[in-house]
Copies of this chain bind each other. A is one copy, B any other.
Amino acid sequence: MSRRTGAVTMHEVAARAGVSIKTVSNVLNGYQYIRPATKEKVEAAIADLGYQVNITARNLRRGRSGLIGLAVPELSLPYFAELADSVIRAAEARGVTVLIEQTGSVRERELEVLTGQRRHLTDGLIFSPLELGPADVDALKVEYPMVLLGERIFGGPADHVTMSNVDGARAAVQHLLDQGRRRIAVIGAHEGETIGSAALRVQGYREALDAAGIPFDPALVGEAGLWHRATGAETMHRLLDSGVEIDAVFGLNDALALGALHALHARRVDVPGRIAVIGWDDIEETAYSSPTLSTVSPGREQIARTAVDLLLARIDDPEVDRPFERVVADFTIVGRESTLGDAAPEVAVPVAR
């Protein structure tokens, strides 16, 4: 708040301009009916004194802060860093500021985010949980505007923006099938889970295989709890060590796929010559890896914009109780070297759903 001693207040501006404090307030808030002369006097005083409104006082009075929360697992995960970037820009375009909170994918911290003190500081929350699930739906019944991101909770008590998981996965696998691949491994599955991105993308994977008449082989499913590069590499090594025949890999996110690329490179396996690889997220890194990584581009910008719009709609009129919306973002298959080979120009294929 930078309450340096003697920060100028409206009173001083009013005194200097020879008007009342209310008039100053009116000028500041663009009130229509002010005599031009008065307005000028006030503006001159504001300029002279270098006055700036005290936002905290305004917030207290207005019951609004102009701040929205964005809770993500970690900024050091590139997808979330890029998402945060997009959300900040979208929010800025709408005149609000974003307060980022990291949950570290820790259940307790995800719950804390919902009820913590910071909720008093923000007008609403965009929340991307990675641990909460349908069982926590009660914890999500909060009194403030919230938009959920991700695929952990469906039909929850909030607006919800989600990726096109099943369709995107199906398209990704179809892209591999189109290159003649038949032994397609998947990395990042969560055994026993029936919710979340992992389950949905694996479902899309299976649907694509089914449609192609290829039997599902559990030996091709690589579990990986955390979707980091390290786990992607480990899982890739494990699959290769298992001796199962593989001619393609579907990483359920880019970090996993990049980890897999790393492992394949370490073992001198030609990509895509022997094994093709596709990821998910279209983080910037995928355009520069060696080889460049084909991926599913999940509509990050659209997700950010939609989330901000939905949230602000609720903030702007909290009385209306509109039914909760669910928005599914558009996706694109981005074909790069890791599936198309060296000569591959980058091609983005929008896929109709």
Q: Hey, which bits of chain A sit against chain B, CB under 8 A?
A: 1-4, 52-57, 59-60, 63-65, 67, 74-76, 78, 81-82, 84-85, 88-89, 97-100, 102, 117-124, 143-145, 229-230, 233, 258-259, 261-262, 265, 284-285, 287-292, 318
Contact = CB atoms under 8 A, between A and B. Distances in A.
Closest 4 pairs between A and B when the two form their complex, measured CB to CB: A3-B63, A81-B81, A2-B144, A265-B290
A275 to B, nearest CB: 14
17 contacts: A1-B65, A1-B67, A1-B121, A2-B122, A4-B318, A53-B117, A54-B60, A55-B117, A75-B85, A75-B88, A78-B81, A84-B100, A99-B99, A229-B284, A229-B285, A262-B292, A290-B290
Interface of A, secondary structure class, is mixed
Given A1-B123, A4-B144, A119-B2, A57 B55 contact: no
Contact of A290 (B1, B54, B56, B262): B262
Contacts of A76: 81-82, 85, 284
Contact of A121 (B55, B118, B285, B290): B55
A261 B265 CA distance: 14
A93 to B, nearest CB: 13
A293 to B, nearest CB: 11
Given A97-B99, A288-B262, A1 B75 contact: no
Copies of this polypeptide in the complex? 2
Contacts of A123: 1-2
A116 to B, nearest CB: 9
Nearest to A143: B4
A285 B289 CA distance: 10
A54 B88 contact: no
B98 A56 contact: no
A85 B60 contact: no
